[in-house]
Amino acid sequence: MIGGATPLPKPHSGAADFGSIIAGSLEVRLAATAAEVEAAQALRYRVFYEEMSAQPSDETRATRRDADRFDTWCDHLLVIDRRRGEGPAGVIGTYRLLRREAAARAGGFYTQTEFDITPLLAMPGPILELGRSCVDAEYRTRPTMQLLWRGIAHYVFLHDIRLMFGCASLPGIDPDVLAPSLSYLYHYHLAPPSLRARALPGRYVEMNRLSPSEIDTEAAVAQLDARAALAALPPLIKGYLRLGGLVGEGAVIDPQFNTTDVCIIVVTDRVTDKYFNHYRLSGSGRHGSGQP
């Protein structure tokens, strides 16, 4: 393991430019040391493998860290409870952020292992992949999630991000069980063709689980209880939808993580002021260096 407070090499860390956002005992900032990245990976292991029953490789089980080749090239957004510690000991939430230029050095985006994102890559300007989001069970509260979103909003404005995307997961690997959620996303939040990422051919799972005869009638969509389907979605996906998020076509089963994934797409200039700018401009808490 990489020891102690070894700083992350440039250009992999923009922690100094990002600064920090503080609300009570909680602070959101980018990881500034290798040890802080390892703490985020350890949190991911506890949530994904111990709590959610993902299947670890022998190496993952031995290190007790969820890690892959993309981690080196990402910025790691952290929520830290400073009552636990100022550095690695305090990490209670994380989000992995990968920008276009860093993805080029990494050999692509993680999302490309599941989806054809050619339409997203064609978008001009900076784009950002979001992934590996998790929060310690003790801290899964509205204030923690709002602080994470404030951190993402600050990052988006700092880097002039035009488009955000990533794989978002539904629990379980039976698409028929997930039919209400998948069908709801397909009928109400499908991205337009110009932004429509698509599940890779060998992994494509149909999201529209209604029969062809039902699809041909306007009543078909009405057969979905939209409110119930929305309520059943994981909180993270509901958060993206509140930001104006859209989904690509087709889902992907991920047996390692025991999930069914959809591609979430958020065009930042279409995000509603009510939500996104609230996280950037909220007067609660205070900002550290680097905050505009």
Q: How many C-alpha atoms does 237 have within 13 Å on its Cβ side?
A: 23
- Convert the pLDDT of each residue in 36-75 to its tens digit: 999 999 999 999 999 998 999 999 999 999 999 999 999 9
Do 258 and 54 meet the contact criterion of CB atoms below 8 Å apart? Answer: yes
User: Residue ranges of the domains in the chain?
Assistant: 15-283
pTM of the predicted structure, to 2 decimals = 0.86
What CATH superfamily classification does 15-283 receive? Gcn5-related N-acetyltransferase (GNAT) (3.40.630.30)
H/E stretch holding 277: helix 276-281
Q: Is 196 strand, coil or helix?
A: coil
Q: What's the token pair of residue 137?
A: 């069970």
Q: What is the pLDDT of residue 53?
A: 86
DSSP for residue 217: S
Q: Is 121 strand, coil or helix?
A: helix
Do 83 and 235 meet the contact criterion of CB atoms below 8 Å apart? Answer: no
- Convert the pLDDT of each residue in 192-239 to its tens digit: 999 999 999 999 999 998 543 453 455 555 666 777 778 888 988 998
